[in-house]
Amino acid sequence: MTMKPTTRDALRRALLTFVLLIWQCVSAWAQNRDQRFVAAALGPVARILVQPKEGVSELALQTLLAQLGAKQEDVIGQINVRILSVPEPARDRVLEALSHNPNIEFAEPDALLEPTLIPNDTYYSSAWHLPKVKAPQAWDITTGSSAVTIAILDSGVAASHPDFAGKLVAGWNFYDNNSNTADVDGHGTMVAGVAAALSNNGIGVTSLAWGCKIMPLRIAEDGLKTV
């Protein structure tokens, strides 16, 4: 036989639910309070990126970090870089110690840096695509190498263009089967300029890899009809 719940049972359940809600609120408040106290005790926290050398054991690494007062927050597994947190006042000391430790490949602050190389070419400010592909950040590392040659398979390249002075190496005209790689359409010259025109020279456009050489290979006629 099924018994109907009494008013007393309903009141008990309501009271129990109310008590549980109060307990959850108090627990959440206490947890937040503890976190605030810890944060206040530690002060501002800095982040450091660290890569241990190959073969260093996890135990040795974690022991070193603990000795320095650094806490591992996360890891970039693909390159085995550890993200550490340390009190801000201790950042430089920890960086110095890690940088000179024989078990550490590198240690550096985890920070966003603005690119320092901004070309002075006339039309750089209009080249929206370069910041879009993070070219300024790449230029802080390299602007290309003269040991690298970029082949431009297109309508040829205008060798007399000032942005290509000293940059062209011998190419070939596959359309006419000769060495005349003069541009018959203009498209190849534009593509070569995007890739490796002389840049940061106060004139013209800015290329992606202006330190590289250019090899014109004509494979098209006027109107870009290919071989």
Residues 6+ apart with CB under 8 A from 169: 149, 213, 214, 215
Q: Hey, is 23 helix, strand or coil?
A: helix
Q: For residue 204, count CB atoms less than 10 angstroms from its CB and return exposed for 0-12, middle for 13-18, buried for 19 or more.
A: middle
Residues 6+ apart with CB under 8 A from 149: 169, 212, 213, 214, 215
Task: Quote the CA–CA distance of 134 and 81 in Å, as a whole number.
Answer: 22
Q: Quick one: tokens of 105?
A: 């490949």
CB 138 within 8 A of CB 129: no
Asked if the structure places residue 200 within a domain, the reply is yes
Asked if the structure places residue 139 within a domain, the reply is yes
For residue 65, the domain's CATH number is 3.30.70.80
pLDDT in tens, 40-78: 444 588 999 999 999 999 999 999 999 999 999 999 999
Exposure class string for 165-192: b at 16+ Cβ within 10 A, else e: eebbeebbbebeeeeebebbbebbbbbb
55 plus 132 within the same structural domain? no
156 plus 212 within the same structural domain? yes
pLDDT in tens, 111-131: 877 778 899 999 999 999 999
pLDDT for position 181: 96
101 plus 55 within the same structural domain? yes
Task: Quote the CA–CA distance of 98 and 47 in Å, as a whole number.
Answer: 13
Number of folded domains that form the chain: 2
Asked if the structure places residue 138 within a domain, the reply is yes
Task: Quote the CA–CA distance of 156 and 134 in Å, as a whole number.
Answer: 28
131 plus 205 within the same structural domain? yes
Strand 71-76 vs strand 172-173: parallel, antiparallel, or unpaired?
A: unpaired
Please check the confidence at residue 146 and state whether its pLDDT lies above 70.
Answer: yes
DSSP-assigned states of every residue in 110-162: ------S-----TTGGG-THHHHTTHHHHHTT-S--TT-EEEEEES---TT-G
Of the residues 60, 82, 109, the one at which a domain ends: 109
More confident residue, 24 or 84: 84
Q: What angle do helix axes 91-99 and 58-68 make, rounded to 10 degrees? A: 140
pLDDT in tens, 76-109: 999 999 999 999 999 999 999 999 999 999 999 9
Q: What's the distance, CA 154 to chain centroid?
A: 31
Q: Measure the N-to-C terminal CA separation of the chain; round to a whole number of Å.
A: 92
Please check the confidence at residue 141 and state whether its pLDDT lies above 80.
Answer: yes
104 plus 138 within the same structural domain? no
Please give the DSSP secondary-structure letter assigned to residue 92: H
Q: Which residues pair with 49 in a beta bridge?
A: 83, 108
Domain that holds residue 212: 124-218
Asked if the structure places residue 81 within a domain, the reply is yes
92 plus 133 within the same structural domain? no
**Strand locations in the chain (E):** 45-52, 71-76, 81-87, 104-109, 149-154, 172-173, 213-218
